[in-house]
Structures are given as structure tokens and as C-alpha cells.
Amino acid sequence: MTDVDSLRTRQRGWLALILLFIGPLAWADDAALYGPEAPPGSAFVRIFNATPTTLANASIGGQAVESLDQFEASDYVFLPAGEHVISTGTEQRSETLAADRYYTVTVDAGGLQVHSLSPPDDGLKALVVFYNLTADEALQLKTEDGSTQIAEAGAGAFATREVNPLRITLGVFSGNQPVATTEPVNLARGRAFSLFVTPGRGQPRLTWVVD
């Protein structure tokens, strides 16, 4: 073996050794950046704090949820399908979660409610999810001028609609009476846009959460 061949052999050995140490570090960095991937068949759960106070001791399936300010949503937690305990710190409920479904747990003065949503089939549109957390028995989400209805939800319920991507201002109506108007929102393809309507002073409070 020539000196050049010997040098190349040592260089390849050094490179393999470097990769041996760097590889796990890079994988760890990726995991820290993107987080763990959900196994197939998982259920996804989040909490929306619809109270005027901070929610500090919530947990989902034994996993602690970060402290939530008023009208704030947590990140989704993924869990294996099956029975899990959802706790707000003062109230807890055992819920059977199905695979490949998304759950939003709303917490307000009336307690804890679990809303189950299946993901849309068409990733080419935006999904609007309209949560009516007021006492109004029928709220409608419409275009700002009221000419086109997007969704209607009863008290404590939600409704969904897939729409084409666009920038739009929407209005919340009770019958033909406008009660609140959203900020302009860019409805993007393949994303879910949750609008939570909660009681407010004079008019309902509107909170967008984008997934």
C-alpha cells in the first residue's frame, strides 16, 4: 500500500468515526426541533381555556399541559386510542378516544366539554371549525355582509365547513342579527382554522386558533 492509499484509508476511518458521534447528535437536534412523531392510529387532544382566568394544572392522559392564559389553546397531545383521563385541575373526565380523530376539550364556567372531529379528506381546501361556547341556541358564521352562510352551531356545539383558500372577513350572526365580526383571516389550503365564540361584554368574544 502506498503512502497516499494509507492516508486515504485513515481519512475514511476518521470520517466514519466523526459520523458515528455526529449522527446521534443530529438526530437528537431533529427530535428537539420537530418533536416526536405520532404513531399510526393515535388520537390527538388539546384544551381550549374559555375562562377569564389562567388554567394552570391541566393534563391529558397523564401528560401535563402548559399553563394556558384566558382564551388560549394548548398544543395537541397525541395518545394511543383508548380510555384516558382529561383533567383541568378542578374537574376530570375519563374519555374513550378513537384512532385518527382530533379532540378539543373546552373549559368554561359550565365545566369541561369534549368535541370530537375527524380530519377532512380534501387537503386542497381550508377547514373552518366554528365553536359556539355561548348560551345562544343558534349562531351562524357568515361572510361579513351576511350573504353566505358557512356554518351554524347550537349552544355548546361546533360545526365545520371546508372552503377555498382566500383572505376574508367573517361575521357571527344570531339569525339575521350581526353580533360580532372577525379580523381578516388568510384561510390557507390544508390548514384548520378554529373560531371560538365565547361570551363577552356587549358582544361575543372571537378567538382564532390556527392549526
Residue stretches of the chain with pLDDT short of 50:
3-34
Number of structural domains (the chain) is 3
115 and 151 housed in the same domain: no
Same domain, 111 and 127: no
Residue where one domain finishes, among candidates 84, 119, 154: 119
Instruction: Assign residue 110 the CATH number of its domain.
Output: 2.60.40
202 and 126 within one domain: yes
Beta strands in 52-176 (DSSP E): 59-60, 63-64, 72-73, 77-80, 82-87, 92-97, 102-108, 111-117, 126-132, 139-143, 149-153, 157-163, 166-168, 170-174
pLDDT score of 1: 52
Shared-domain flag, residues 206 and 127: yes
What confidence score (pLDDT) does residue 30 get?
A: 45
User: Could you read off the pLDDT of 137-167 as tens digits, one per residue?
Assistant: 999 999 999 999 999 999 999 999 999 999 9
Single residue among 67, 92, 119 that ends a domain in this structure: 119
Same domain, 125 and 204: yes
129 with 143, same domain: the answer is: yes
Q: How much is the pLDDT for 100?
A: 95
Domain of 135, CATH number, reads: 2.60.40.2890
* Judgement on whether residues 113 and 136 belong to the same structural domain of the protein: no
Per the structure, the complete domain to which residue 11 belongs is given by: 1-31
